[in-house]
Structure 1
Amino acid sequence: MWAGVVCDNFTGHVRKIRLRSPPLRGLEDLLYQDLSRYFEGDAEDDAEYEAYRRYRFGGKLNPSLLDLKHLHYLDLSGNDFEGAHIPSFIGSIATLRYLNLSRAGFGGTIPPQLGNVTTMRYLDLRSNNELLCGNLQWLSHLVLLQHLDMSHVYLGEALDWLQVTSNLPSLVELHLSNCGLEYLVSPSSTNKINFTSLGILDLSYTLLGSSVPGWILSLNHLVSLDLSACDFYGPVPAGLQNMTSLRVLDWSGNPSNSTIPNWLYSLSHLQSLTLQDNLLHGAVSIAIENLTSIVSLELSFNQLQGSIPTSLGKLCKLKTIDLKDNQLQGSIPTSLGKLCKLKTIDLSVNEFSGE
């Protein structure tokens, strides 16, 4: 028995290799970390960083991995391969279903041989900031792929990204945050878009034009949509109200310069709503009480006015409320004290009165 290696209980064949390096405490969700320079902190922090640095490994991956004829799962995330190329021989591990090379310091061009692993269901290459890909045709062979994350991989020259990903019949999750996808898709090509299974879409930090493309608004079966920092102008598009299954919506960092649209309060299945830094003004409507499933509400860094509606206290599932840096006035409603699941609330930098 080896740490990080899982064998079949009956045959003894190696089925999983899980040699990921855990992130530093508190940075589990960080997309990019550069800790190459020594930083000064207290002794405990320094010791934790040193332990983290020693735990990571790098060098060259050995082609002997090909001898593992029953390998289904390979996770090398969080290590430091110092800009090395992803070896093309990984494309010959024919039984692989799960491949996670995220935050591992790989660079260069993604080998198209990965498209030979037609059993692949999960592929995570995110946050390898020196990694790039100019053509995604190899992805079209991965017809069983359900999860794809290439966030922070440069895809600025991959003009086929939308056509290829939209025709992956099993794809459920697509994460392409900050990939340099700055090119508009021609209207004629949108007829070939066919996201039949997609439930989660993250295109944050992507410049797709001044307004949300129609093909996104047609994805009525989405449960999570992140379009933060896409530089869209104008109000939150009314077309989103047709996404009646939506659980997570992040529209932060887009200059809406409008009020919160009334239809937004009708998304009763919404669990997380993030409208930070959108130049929103006007009041928060009492209709917010209709967001009966909401767990996280983040409306900070706007120009919202008026008072906090007492109806906010009816949202008994709320764990996070962030209304900081607005122009809210009046007193803080006592009804918020009834939110027994509330863990975080930030009402700072407003104009409240009273005790």
Structure 2
Amino acid sequence: MNTHWLSSLVMLHHLAMSGVDLSKATDWLHVINDLSSLVQLHLSYCKLSHIHPHVPSLNLTSLSLLDLSLNSFDSSMPPWIFSLTSLLSLDLNGCFLSVPSAHSFRNLTDLEFLDLDGSNFMNSSLVLKELSSSNLISLDIGSCGVSSLDLDSLHNLTNLLSLGLSSNELTKRIPKSLGNLCNLKEIDLSFNNFGNISLTYLLESFFECKSSALESLSFSFSGVSGHLPDQLGQLSNLVHLLLSDNYITGTIPHSIGQLSFLRTLDLSVNQMCGSIPFSIGRLSLLEVLDLGLNQLNGSLSEWIGGLSSLKKLYLSHNRLDGNLPDRLGQLTKLVSLDISFNLFTGVVTEAHFTNLVSLNSL
């Protein structure tokens, strides 16, 4: 009902109350503002609805982490947040706050982690330009109404390791200026609408890095077309490659076998054809392979045996044929297998596998 009991904890450094129902505790900010020693504040999913736009005198000068994620607030981002100059991490994911361009992130020069997923930018380009002067390592601005033209404002964030851009209004080529982000390890561009732009053009800026650091790349549900570029092999540090539910055509390039760190490869629900290259069998660390709902043909025998770490294999709704190889049963870590709606001969049962939990071979 209230948070008055916190008032006596004047030396408190770390307060974690995520998941606690504070919907009736209207005094929460006034009480917490008196905890001047506070360094970390976690109030995720507390059913908070009012964020108190004005604080007469802000005492949270030591606060380095503020997590208010998954609360549905009823206001714009309050000015006092921009006065928390010691912040290293700010998480407002799912708060649906409006970010007015009148207030600036420019004062938050130490900020390294920022999650604004689901926010409403009143002026996207101006907000992103203000962020460009920070030392951000991780930035998630998914579902923020960001357009392709706004992305140019990010080119100075050369320390960035993770960038979330899912569910925005990206419809054009990724600006070449993002080629400056060669330290980037993770980028999520899923759930956008790139129309008929080919994957080769979209990845052009990343191929320009002398040594790409990318470990996770997602373009799922983004309307991407064209072929998988041979240059994919240049992204040699990739661990997760997610390109499902697009309009990608052509064959899977042999260069896919150069991605020796790959653990997840999802090319499902596309229009890819031809046989699966034998080079895919070199991916000994691969745990998830999903090539379902394409137009692939040929057999499994040439490559399946090399996938010793495979846990999930989905090949349904293709034109794969031939005998099911004995090597399939040697994948001792396999827990889920779907090879249905193909042209295979022979019968496979769960008895062929050690740890299989899910099987669909009809």
TM-score (norm 2): 0.78
The residue type paired with residue 17 of structure 2 is L
Residue in 1 that maps onto 2:354: none
Structure 1 match to 2:106: 140
Matched, 1:330 2:298: yes
Among candidates 66, 72, 90, match of residue 105 of structure 1: 72
How many residues matched? 308
Residue 233 of structure 2 aligns with which residue?
265
2:285 aligns to what?
317
Partner residue of 1:20?
18
Q: Which amino acid is 1:58 matched to?
A: S
Larger Rg computed on CA atoms? 2
User: 1:235 is matched with which residue: 198, 202, 218?
Assistant: 198
- TM alignment of 1:175-214, pairs within 5 A: 175-182=140-147, 184-185=149-150, 193-214=155-176
Q: CA deviation at 1:138?
A: 2.6
Structure 2 CA distance, aligned partners of 1:331 and 1:270? Answer: 26
Give CA deviations for 1:62-98 in whole Å, capped at 9, x if unaligned.
41212212100000102212x3235544954111000
CA distance in 2, matches of 1:71, 1:287: 51
**8 Å CA contact 2:289, 2:313 repeated in 1:** yes
Which deviates the most, 319-328 or 215-224? 215-224
**Quick one: which amino acid aligns to residue 94 of structure 2?**
S
Confirm or deny: 8 A CA contact 1:207 1:230 kept in the other structure.
yes
Aligned to 2:339: none
Deviation readout 1:141-164 (Å, 9 max, x if unpaired): 011100000001111434412211
Q: Which amino acid aligns with 1:18?
A: A
Q: Distance in 2 between matches of 1:57 and 1:66?
A: 16
Distance 1:100 1:125 in 2: 7
What's the secondary structure of 1:239's corresponding residue? helix
Which residue of the partner structure matches residue 120 of structure 2?
Answer: 154
Shift in CA distance, 86/340, structure 1 to aligned 2, threshold 3 Å: farther
Q: 1:13/1:166 Cα in 2 relative to 1: closer, same or farther (>3 Å)? A: same
Q: Is the 8 A contact 2:54 2:78 kept in 1?
A: yes
**Whole-angstrom CA distance in 2 between matches of 1:329 and 1:136:** 57
Residues 172, 86 of structure 1: alpha-carbon distance in 2 compared, 3 angstrom cutoff: farther
After superposition, give the CA deviation of every residue in 1:282-321 in whole Å (9 maximum; x if it has no partner).
1112221101111111111100111222321211111111
Q: Report if the CA contact (8 A) 2:93-2:118 is conserved.
A: yes
Offset at residue 209 of structure 1 (A): 4.1
**C-alpha distance in 2 between matches for 1:346 and 1:136:** 50
- Give the counterpart letter for 1:235 in structure 2: S
Aligned partner letter, 1:115: F
Choose from 266, 276, 279 the match for 1:308. Answer: 276
Task: Work out whether 1:164 is the aligned partner of 2:162.
Answer: no
Alignment of 1:11-160 (within 5 A): 13-21=11-19, 56-59=21-24, 60=26, 61-81=28-48, 83-86=49-52, 88-89=54-55, 92-129=59-96, 131-135=97-101, 137-160=103-126
Amino acid at match of 2:14: K
1:254 aligns with 2:222: yes
Q: Which runs of 5+ in 1 are unaligned?
A: 22-54
Cα 1:193–1:332, aligned 2, differ >3 Å: closer, same or farther? closer
Query: Conserved in 2, the CA contact under 8 Å of 1:328 and 1:350?
Result: yes
- One-letter amino acid matched to 1:65: I
- 1: CA distance, partners of 2:251 / 2:82: 51
Percent identity, please.
Answer: 28
Root-mean-square deviation over aligned CA pairs: 2.6
Deviations 1:18-69 (A, max 9, x none): 1112xxxxxxxxxxxxxxxxxxxxxxxxxxxxxxxxx533232241212212
Gaps of 5+ in 2: 322-343, 346-362
Matched, 1:288 2:256: yes
